[in-house]
Amino acid sequence: MTLRVLCVFLLSGWLSVSAAALPIPENGPALRIQGSNTIGAELGPALVEGLLQEQGLLKIHRETPDTANEQRIVGQTAQGQRVIIEVAAHGSSTGFAALKNASADLAASSREIKDSELLALQALGDLKSPAAEQVIAIDGLAIILNPANPLEQLNTEQLARIFAGEVKTWEELGSRGGAIHLYARDDQSGTYDTFKELVLSRRGKSLSSAAKRFESSEQLSDAVSADPQGIGFIGLPYVRQAKAVAIADGASQAMLPLNSLIATEDYPLSRRLFFYLPPDSRNPWAQALATFAQSPQGQAIVATSGFISQTVQAMSVAPNALMPEGYQSLSRHAQRLTVNFRFAEGSASLDNKARQDLARVLDYIKRHGKTERAVTLVGFGDLKDDPARADLLSKLRAMAVRRELVRNGVVMREVRGFGALMPVATNSADEGRIKNRRVEVWVY
């Protein structure tokens, strides 16, 4: 599927999610979802309820079986037939395992599929294809403390040393409270996988065996809130009564897990939440749920569930002395859209989320009458070996986005490249460099 065709397909899907009645199985669930606790605790069931409502079903409710972290979402047809969708939330890894043994139709994951999982599931088709890998929301990993802890910010290097057990007291961090108590999600959790990838593994660290482990996000957050010496990591909706601290990565400024910074994925511990739908799946409910999740109705549910929707909005950015003069001027006269286009290493090719976001940006531009010289693209690169190469690639990436917008009727105002300036993450690791390779969209 070409990018242009994909954009048309996605835009038409957003404007009208099909209300055609889906087939109802005579026996068993219509859909089985397995995977992330972050998604499965509330967001997944809420999206399922939205789909059932869109299908015109009645008496929609949730049933809780005896097994912890599992739910059944049930609706009823006008003829009285029950429609059941099962959601099991035992961690992202379990979703891919369930696809492999055919005990699930859809995997919910709070991390990207691993190469080993992709290989193990290749019989189901390419799970990295645009149709299979669906980014349904953006989340931020919040680092949480007891509200009485006076500490306001940490960097990712400090976080790694804290959770590895190398920093043992709050006094070593300039705070107070004595010994640090660690709280972490369990090994099956995509939240833990993300923290391990973004913080621990990047610095050759492992989680301390002293950390208390939790399958439930809510229980972990409540435990930290009750412990004056506690620190934990959690998905954004589960901060609850705890205190979130600002996080810096490399040369980036310290950032709180604010909605705008997570939406653009600038916040150092932001992450994507996924549905993985096997391309060869014959379950129409799986495809319908993935489509519904991308619709305006689905993204509204994402927002009300406490996550960050992918609905494009314009935001004002206050200029400051750390910005290049050209960027300061831009921030004084234009607004930035809440989306960044990102690219693979050394590449100007859009990733799957960028392909979806392109359709959303086009929709925003056309709905707000910005098609005639009202859009500026700003590209950034990562400082790896050659600053000149970073500068060139930043412009090429911006031009790649420009090409697709122009193809769809947008007359650009300007395209700029700022090279490796204004990093949002450290350039010492691949994950950080990927975040720094981005294109911002500004509108006048």
Predicted local confidence at residue 9, as pLDDT = 38
> For the chain, which residues score pLDDT lower than 50?
1-19
319 plus 435 within the same structural domain: yes
How far is the CA of 342 from the CAs of 147, 193, 252, 272, in angstroms? Answer: 35, 21, 17, 13
DSSP 71: E
Q: Do you know the residue count of the chain? A: 444
| Count of structural domains within the chain | 3
360 plus 430 within the same structural domain: yes
318 plus 437 within the same structural domain: yes
The CATH number for 426's domain is 3.30.1330.60
Whether 5 maps to a domain, the answer reads: no
Residue appearing with tokens 């492999």: 100
116 plus 161 within the same structural domain: no
Task: Indicate the pairing of strand 70-76 with strand 82-89.
Answer: antiparallel
90 plus 160 within the same structural domain: no
28 plus 54 within the same structural domain: yes
The total of other beta-carbon atoms located within 10 Å of residue 175's CB is 15
Predicted local confidence at residue 252, as pLDDT = 80
Task: Report residue 222: phi and psi, to 5°.
Answer: -65, -35
Whether 410 maps to a domain, the answer reads: yes
Q: Which of 357, 349, 336 is nearest to 437 (CA)?
A: 349
Residue appearing with tokens 């980014």: 135
Fill in the amino acid letter for 140. G
Q: 151: domain range?
A: 140-263
Interval 295-319: pLDDT, tens: 999 999 999 998 999 999 999 999 9
pTM tops 0.85 = no
Fill in the amino acid letter for 18. S
399 plus 252 within the same structural domain: no
Interval 247-297: pLDDT, tens: 999 878 899 998 889 999 999 999 899 999 999 888 999 999 999 999 999
Predicted local confidence at residue 10, as pLDDT = 42
The CATH number for 244's domain is 3.40.190.10
Fill in the amino acid letter for 375. V
91 plus 152 within the same structural domain: no
> What is the rounded distance in angstroms from the CA atom of residue 440 to the CA atom of residue 334?
12
The rounded radius of gyration (Å) of the Cα atoms in the chain is: 22
Whether 309 maps to a domain, the answer reads: no
> What is the rounded distance in angstroms from the CA atom of residue 11 to the CA atom of residue 360?
7
Predicted local confidence at residue 202, as pLDDT = 85
> What is the rounded distance in angstroms from the CA atom of residue 55 to the CA atom of residue 20?
7
Residue appearing with tokens 């949002």: 424
| Residues 6+ positions from 53 with CB-CB distance below 8 Å | 60
> What is the rounded distance in angstroms from the CA atom of residue 416 to the CA atom of residue 396?
10
DSSP structure string for 248-266: E-TTSPPB---HHHHHTT-
Q: Are 224 and 242 in contact (CB under 8 A)?
A: yes
